[in-house]
């Protein structure tokens, strides 16, 4: 761990640190504990690259997804969303081990969203019986474990459960959650072992909440899928604040009318993971629903502020619908604001964020805004983008920068 108080600008700008990179490539099992607050798929390529450098990264994931097949599972079982957890575990999986590529295919498989539910139920039955080609190819004892979980889900599945577009990995995680007394960590552990995930993955909370947002035009919207614009029209008003709620309703007007703001405290095991980190990263991704929503859990900011490691922010390249009307300076301000909310007393800025990492030569960023007001936050300008036409941060380049700073 590099204490941010001991790092000079001269040392920081000597990145990538080739010695640190070669050391980690040689022994990734002894690599640094780089912690990410995230969710969604924006960190997928970086996660796949990162396991070549360290097997000790920590991924704190938002479990509030309310769209697609995740919504069907949450509605049926009143549970946290497992889709982003499954996605991150799969990104961190070691695909070189016998059987793992086959498990990866199964856990990534989605049932056809255009088929009738009766056909999909029959396909799921074949998986339970071990007769489906994606299951039969998996070696024992992994095949038996997977079949048991699928059988458990099949028996617990409501008669009207919509299987269209359902992800098999999500169904297996759901079965593990239900069969473990509604505890998510045991099944994450088993799931991670099955695919040899080279990292630690945990949801920021294991409770069932919805993510809501109040817009500057006065509207209140409830549901992560409405904020991300993946299934709804993009927002046309800037987000004023986001919150968690346990007010659930299919009717938006009724949900807003009976809105109750929820408070949830950090779990000790999550707090411990934050305290152990060698570097804390607020990465690219949907700004509010994937990154900031982690900070709505009371105690996250306090845990971050108590760790003396470096904290860095990787702004999005391109357009993020959740950042409507925002500059990078506005994003920095919100990171500090939301982290500060759960601190016992307002911390110094440098306890929460030290550097913003950009690639000004190759990246197409939103307006930077007034960065001068953040005098205690440094800018690290380094090559992150390999292909300018894609305007996408390269996973290997970002991994090497983070390894160099850890």
391 Cβ contact list (under 8 Å, min separation 6) = 317, 318, 363, 364, 385
> Which residue reads 């097949």 in tokens?
69
Q: Distance (Å, rounded) from C-alpha 156 to C-alpha 148?
A: 12
HSE-CB for 259 with a 13 A CA cutoff: 17
CATH code of residue 389: 3.40.50
Q: In the prediction, which pLDDT does 189 show?
A: 93
Same structural domain, 103 and 221: no
Q: Which of 155, 178, 201 is the last residue of a domain?
A: 201
Q: In the prediction, which pLDDT does 260 show?
A: 80
Q: In the prediction, which pLDDT does 201 show?
A: 97
Same structural domain, 47 and 73: no
Same structural domain, 196 and 214: no
Q: In the prediction, which pLDDT does 11 show?
A: 40
Same structural domain, 150 and 188: yes
Same structural domain, 246 and 270: no
Same structural domain, 117 and 228: no
Domain that holds residue 89: 68-201
Same structural domain, 163 and 228: no
What DSSP letter does each residue of 21-81 carry, written as one string? HHHHHH-GGG---EEEEE-SSTTHHHHHHHTTT-S-EEEEE-----SHHHHHHHHHH----
In tens, the pLDDT along 109-129 reads 999 999 999 999 999 999 999
In tens, the pLDDT along 253-282 reads 666 666 888 889 999 999 999 999 999 999
Positions in the chain whose pLDDT score sits under 50: 4-13
251 Cβ contact list (under 8 Å, min separation 6) = none
Same structural domain, 274 and 399: yes
Q: In the prediction, which pLDDT does 233 show?
A: 85
Same structural domain, 316 and 354: yes
Q: Which of 257, 272, 296 is the last residue of a domain?
A: 257
Count how many domains the chain has.
Answer: 3
Same structural domain, 215 and 348: no
Same structural domain, 401 and 271: yes
Q: Where are the alpha helices (DSSP H) in 157-299?
A: 168-179, 185-195, 224-228, 252-257, 268-276
Same structural domain, 270 and 400: yes
Q: Where are the alpha helices (DSSP H) in 307-349?
A: 328-341
């Amino acid at each position: 761990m590099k204490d941010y108080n001991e790092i000079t600008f001269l040392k920081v700008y000597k990145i990538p640190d080739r010695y640190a990179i070669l050391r980690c490539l040689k022994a990734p099992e002894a690599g640094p504990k780089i912690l990410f607050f995230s969710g969604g798929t924006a960190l997928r390529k970086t996660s796949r690259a990162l396991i070549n450098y360290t097997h000790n990264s920590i991924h704190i994931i938002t479990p509030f997804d309310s769209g697609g097949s995740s919504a069907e599972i949450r509605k049926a079982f009143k549970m946290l969303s497992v889709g982003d957890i499954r996605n991150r575990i799969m990104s961190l999986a070691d695909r070189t081990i016998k059987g793992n590529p086959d498990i990866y295919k199964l856990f990534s498989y989605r049932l056809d969203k255009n088929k009738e539910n009766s056909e999909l139920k029959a396909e799921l039955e074949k998986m339970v019986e071990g007769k489906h080609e994606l299951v039969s190819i998996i070696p024992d004892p992994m095949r038996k474990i997977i079949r048991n979980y699928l059988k458990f889900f099949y028996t617990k599945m409501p008669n009207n459960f919509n299987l269209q577009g359902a992800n098999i990995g999500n169904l297996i995680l759901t079965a593990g959650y239900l069969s473990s007394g509604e505890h998510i960590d045991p099944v994450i552990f088993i799931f991670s072992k099955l695919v040899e995930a080279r990292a630690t993955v945990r949801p920021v909370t294991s409770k069932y909440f919805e993510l809501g947002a109040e817009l500057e035009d006065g509207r209140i919207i409830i549901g992560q899928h409405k904020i991300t614009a993946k299934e709804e029209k993009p927002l046309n008003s800037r987000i004023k604040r986001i919150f968690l709620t346990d007010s659930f309703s299919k009717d938006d007007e009724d949900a807003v009318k009976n809105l109750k703001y929820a408070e949830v405290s950090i779990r000790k095991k999550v707090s411990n993971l934050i305290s152990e980190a060698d570097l804390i990263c607020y990465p690219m991704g949907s700004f509010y629903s994937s990154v900031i929503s982690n900070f709505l859990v009371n105690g996250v900011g306090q845990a971050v502020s108590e760790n003396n490691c470096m904290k860095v922010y990787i702004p999005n390249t391109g357009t993020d619908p959740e950042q409507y009307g925002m500059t990078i300076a506005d994003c920095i301000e919100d990171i500090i604001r939301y982290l500060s909310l759960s601190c016992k007393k307002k911390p110094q800025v440098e306890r929460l964020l030290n550097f913003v990492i950009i690639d000004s030569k190759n990246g197409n960023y939103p307006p930077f805004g007034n960065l001068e007001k953040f005098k205690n936050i440094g800018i690290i300008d380094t090559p992150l983008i390999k292909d300018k036409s894609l305007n996408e941060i390269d996973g290997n380049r970002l991994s090497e920068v983070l390894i160099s700073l850890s």
